[in-house]
A = this chain, B = another copy of it.
Amino acid sequence: MPEDGECAAACGSPVAANISRVNGRTKRDRSLETTSKTERKRRTCDPSERLSCHKTQDSLLSSASGYNKYRGILNWCVVMLVLSNARLFLENLLKHGILVDPIQVVSLFLNDPYRWPAACLVIVANVFVLVALYTERQLSKGSFSERLGFLVHAINMGVLITFPAAVVLLLPSVTPVGGASALSIYTILFLKLYSYKDVNLWCRELSSIKVKKLSRSLSCESQTQAHVSYPGNLTIRDMYYFVFAPTLCYELNFPRSPSVRVGFLLRRLCEMLFFTQVLVALAQQWMVPIIRSSMKPLEVPNHLLWLMFFYWFFHSSMNFTAELLRFGDRQFYNDWWNSETVTYFWQNWNIPVHKWCLRHFYKPLLRRGFSKKVSQSAVFFLSAFFHEYLVSVPLRMFRLWAFMGMMAQIPLAWFVGRFLRGNYGNAAVWISIIIGQPFAVLMYVHDYYVLHHRQEVDGL
């Protein structure tokens, strides 16, 4: 809105100065005196201000401008996504109705509606939680030696990771989707219980240090909020709060939000329901026909599904759970969309896993004297193992595509970090996400279809 519109004609100006009516030709007067600040100020409400309306400045989209506020572009993506899929939705509704979808989804999890092997697996998971809690209680009381405690934990977690894999591999009634869901839950639980064991061990270590120097510890004791201290945390309630909390890192005193905001909860719930519907509809309408008919590259659809899954899981669902549990730390992801190196992407897109890796794997390795390079590669190796575990076992195919995809990140990270900067690095990261990840998925899908539908393929 204009500000100086009404200001009346007043003092002279540099533009009007040095007039020579006779001399109509170019005449540049090079006066080199500098204008004082008060002089400049006085001129702001000057009609001669009208005469200059330009100043030297860069365009916002030039990289030199350093401008990076693009919230609106995100809204544009959402609007475009909704608008360009609105017709697809309507057609889907008119063709299949709304009832078809949920049943098809259920059939992905269950072959036989009277046997729910994946659900049973999840229920059985409670046993491992209780064993871990029992072991920690015995350790805190001194009934178990540290050695015995470690052994029990090792066996418990060893079984935790092998037992569901064996069930999925051996029971034919487990579908790939059901199996992958159950194994994901077991993997999450594995990481959580590992953290639980570590933190309780650290507490015991610290208490033994504390006994040696009681005087100093008193100064540290002060806390503004009510908090739980070491063996007081070993309760069923505390354990299950951690199991359901949207984090993989155990802590005795999680930061808590003051109350459950119902509006926030409902917004996230609506998003969850909406995106579930979108993900299912898109998968059915878009991807299944492509795979069935022509095995075309599905980079773009797959990528959009992944983006929606990201928002659905890391924003809507995790914030929903956090709000419900009054869990204060909502940093479930960082600004990975701006990542200019592959390393930055992996450190920021999945903060719970990144935090766990840093706290319970990377830093312990560093403390044991390994170099940063080796420790970082070890983290990628661990991640590669779990990616393979979560894909190969449910599909009952060991092809190592996921494993190699993760391990390929190490040379890729080196290449991008070495040769690309700024927006080019960012574009390279995006391309690796858009092309690379669906490529690995496609390899599995291809092999799975060749393996299970060879007759159909040959028949055509």
Listed in ascending order, the chain A residues whose CB lies under 8 Å from chain B are 1-2, 4-6, 9-21, 23-35, 39, 43, 47-48, 50-62, 67-80, 83-84, 137, 140-142, 199, 202-203, 205-207, 209-210, 213-214, 216-224, 226-235, 237-238, 247, 249, 251-257, 299-300, 311, 315, 318-319, 328-339, 355, 358-359, 362-363, 366-367, 372, 423, 426-427, 430-431, 434-435
The answer to whether A430 touches B75 (Cβ under 8 A) is yes
Closest chain B residue, CB of each to CB of A18:
B229
Task: Name the B residues within 8 Å of A331 (CB-CB).
Answer: 57, 59-60
Task: Name the B residues within 8 Å of A39 (CB-CB).
Answer: 219-220, 222
The answer to whether A231 touches B51 (Cβ under 8 A) is no
Task: Name the B residues within 8 Å of A35 (CB-CB).
Answer: 220, 222-224
Give A77 to B303 CA distance when docked, in angstroms.
Answer: 13
Task: Name the B residues within 8 Å of A363 (CB-CB).
Answer: 2, 4-5, 50
Pairs of residues from A and B, 7 with the lowest C-beta to C-beta distance, nearest first:
A12-B217, A33-B222, A56-B328, A72-B337, A54-B329, A16-B206, A17-B221
Which listed residue, B21, B26, B48, touches A235 by the CB 8 Å rule? B26
The answer to whether A72 touches B28 (Cβ under 8 A) is no
Known: A230-B19, A253-B15, A319-B62. A430 touches B76 (CB 8 A): yes
Closest chain B residue, CB of each to CB of A141:
B24
Closest chain B residue, CB of each to CB of A348:
B60
Task: Name the B residues within 8 Å of A434 (CB-CB).
Answer: 79-80, 83
The answer to whether A362 touches B210 (Cβ under 8 A) is no
Nearest CB in chain B: distance from A353 CB, A: 13
Give A78 to B73 CA distance when docked, in angstroms.
Answer: 12
Known: A27-B232, A74-B73. A220 touches B54 (CB 8 A): no
Closest chain B residue, CB of each to CB of A249:
B53
The answer to whether A329 touches B51 (Cβ under 8 A) is no
Which listed residue, B213, B329, B372, touches A55 by the CB 8 Å rule? B329
Task: Name the B residues within 8 Å of A55 (CB-CB).
Answer: 255, 328-329
Nearest CB in chain B: distance from A156 CB, A: 20
Can you list 25 A-B contacts (CB < 8 A)? A2-B362, A4-B363, A5-B367, A9-B205, A13-B206, A14-B227, A15-B230, A18-B221, A24-B231, A26-B232, A27-B232, A31-B221, A32-B224, A39-B222, A51-B199, A54-B249, A54-B255, A55-B255, A56-B255, A56-B257, A69-B69, A69-B338, A73-B337, A79-B427, A80-B300
